[in-house]
């Protein structure tokens, strides 16, 4: 793997906004269940990313990217729980690798970078959910996350045709 896995600084996001929008459109277009249904558009993805980048600028979420030759091929977010009784917990969210760059270890490397940062900032309990049976589910299982349940019919599949279960995971660092 020749990619650099980096935590984005707020001042670096504007230059990567278009690439992040492209990764989200690409993932949904290829069937990922990440809160959107087809038809996916750059406008929907831009509206979502603008909210996420604003949260990043406020320090409410940390955004990691996998980059090579100035190209962003993957991203994941670490969202520290805002509740005052959960100073030790964070959510992992929007784990996306562009379809052109999958099966090279980027997903695993992004997760490991996010977990290392979580440990560094004292967030030692991580939680996430993903579509049951998805590539994400396999990735999290392989990285030692514990699945603690499934909710049937949790969300529509990306094509909007079927309600699919979600799997809920945690990891203690």
Ligand X SMILES: CC(C)(COP(=O)(O)OP(=O)(O)OC[C@H]1O[C@@H](n2cnc3c(N)ncnc32)[C@H](O)[C@@H]1OP(=O)(O)O)[C@@H](O)C(=O)NCCC(=O)NCCS
Residue nearest to ligand X (CB): 107
**Spatial separation of the C-alpha atoms in residues 160 and 90, rounded to whole Å:** 29
Q: Which is nearer to ligand X, 122 or 149 (CB)?
A: 149
**Spatial separation of the C-alpha atoms in residues 14 and 10, rounded to whole Å:** 8
Contact 98, 73 (CB under 8 A): yes
- Residues counted in the chain: 173
Dihedral angle sign, alpha carbons of residues 8, 71, 137, 33: positive
Q: Which is nearer to ligand X, 80 or 136 (CB)?
A: 136
Q: Which stretch binds ligand X (CB under 6 A): 2-10, 35-43, 99-107, 158-166?
A: 99-107
Least separation, in Å, of the C-beta of 81 and ligand X? 18
Position 77 contacts ligand X (CB under 6 A): no
Using CB under 6 A, which of 75, 77, 127, 130 touches ligand X? 130
Q: Which stretch binds ligand X (CB under 6 A): 46-54, 55-63, 94-102, 119-127?
A: 94-102
Position 134 contacts ligand X (CB under 6 A): yes
**Spatial separation of the C-alpha atoms in residues 65 and 54, rounded to whole Å:** 17
Position 95 contacts ligand X (CB under 6 A): yes
The partner residues of 84 in beta bridges, in order of sequence, read none
């Amino acid at each position: 793997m020749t990619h650099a896995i980096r935590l984005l600084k707020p001042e670096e996001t504007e230059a990567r906004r278009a690439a992040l929008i492209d990764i989200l459109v690409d993932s949904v277009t290829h069937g990922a269940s990440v809160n959107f249904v087809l038809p996916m558009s750059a406008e929907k993805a831009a509206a979502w990313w603008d909210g996420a980048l604003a949260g990043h600028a406020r320090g409410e979420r940390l955004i990691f990217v996998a980059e090579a030759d100035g190209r962003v091929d993957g991203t994941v977010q670490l969202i520290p729980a805002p509740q005052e009784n959960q100073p030790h917990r964070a959510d992992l969210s929007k784990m996306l690798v562009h379809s052109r760059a999958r099966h090279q270890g980027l997903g695993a490397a992004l997760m490991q970078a996010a977990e290392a940062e979580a440990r560094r900032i004292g967030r030692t309990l991580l939680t996430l959910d993903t579509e049951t049976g998805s590539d994400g589910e396999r990735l999290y299982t392989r990285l030692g996350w514990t699945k603690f349940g499934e909710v049937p019919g949790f969300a529509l599949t990306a094509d909007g045709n079927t309600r699919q279960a979600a799997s809920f995971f945690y990891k203690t660092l």
